[in-house]
Amino acid sequence: YNNNDYKYLTSVESTTEYETESLLEGTHDFYVVAYQYRYSNYRSEPSNIVSVESVYERPEITIYTGCDFAHIIWDKIEGATAYQVYSKDINSSDEFVLTQTQKFGNATTIEDLEIGKTYAFYVVAINGEASSQPSEIVQVTIPEQTLNPIENLNVEQIKYNEVKLTWDKVDGATAY
C-alpha cells in the first residue's frame, strides 16, 4: 500500500478490538489501525499491516458418463454464489475452457461429447471476484454404448384399423 491507500471500515470507541463477518471467501485482506487524538482532526500514522486469507474449500466432484454426456456433481461450498465448470479434450493441446457457469444447484450435464474420447473436468466455486482453488481434475472416457434391441415385441389387432404394440421395459430408456 502507498500512503493512506486504505479503505475506511469503521470507528470503534472505548475498545481495542474490532470483529467483522464481512470477509469474502477466496480473498486476501490487509488491515491497519490508526487512532484519532482526543476528538480532534489529528490522526496517527497507520499501524503495521496484518493480513488474513479467507479460502474457500475446494469442491469435490464426481462424474457419471453416458453415451454422449458427462454428468458432474460437486459438493456445495458455503458462500459460493455460482460454480464454473471447465473442460478439455485431453488428446488436444488446447487449454481448459470455461464450459458452463452454474448459478443454481451443484450439478450439471455436459452433452454432445464424442464417444471414445477422454475429457478432463474441474469445478471452481465463485462469489463475485473471489474464487476457490480448483477441484481436482477428473478424467472420464465417454463409453461406447451397445444398446440391446427391445425384447418381446407383440402386436394385438384390436379392430380392423387399430393395433396395440407391447414390449418389455428397458432399464435406462427414457423414451420408446
Task: Using the predicted structure, report yes or no on whether residue 55 has a pLDDT greater than 80.
Answer: no
**φ, ψ (nearest 5 deg) of residue 72:** -110, 130
Which segments of 31-103 does DSSP mark as H helices, in order?
none
Running DSSP on this structure, what letter comes out for residue 72? E
Is the whole model's pTM more than 0.75, yes or no?
no
Task: Using the predicted structure, report yes or no on whether residue 26 has a pLDDT greater than 60.
Answer: no
Cα distances (angstroms) measured from residue 15 to each of 11, 19, 49, 51, 64: 10, 11, 19, 21, 55
Q: How high is the pLDDT of residue 2?
A: 38
71-125 pLDDT tens trace: 999 998 887 889 999 999 998 888 999 988 888 889 999 999 999 999 999 999 8
Q: Share the mean pLDDT of the chain.
A: 84
Q: How high is the pLDDT of residue 103?
A: 86
Place of cell 454422449: 68
Q: Which amino acid is at 173?
A: A
70-83 pLDDT tens trace: 999 999 888 788 99
Task: Using the predicted structure, report yes or no on whether residue 145 has a pLDDT greater than 70.
Answer: yes
The average pLDDT across 142-160 equals 87
Measure the CA–CA gap between 85 and 167, rounded to whole angstroms. 40
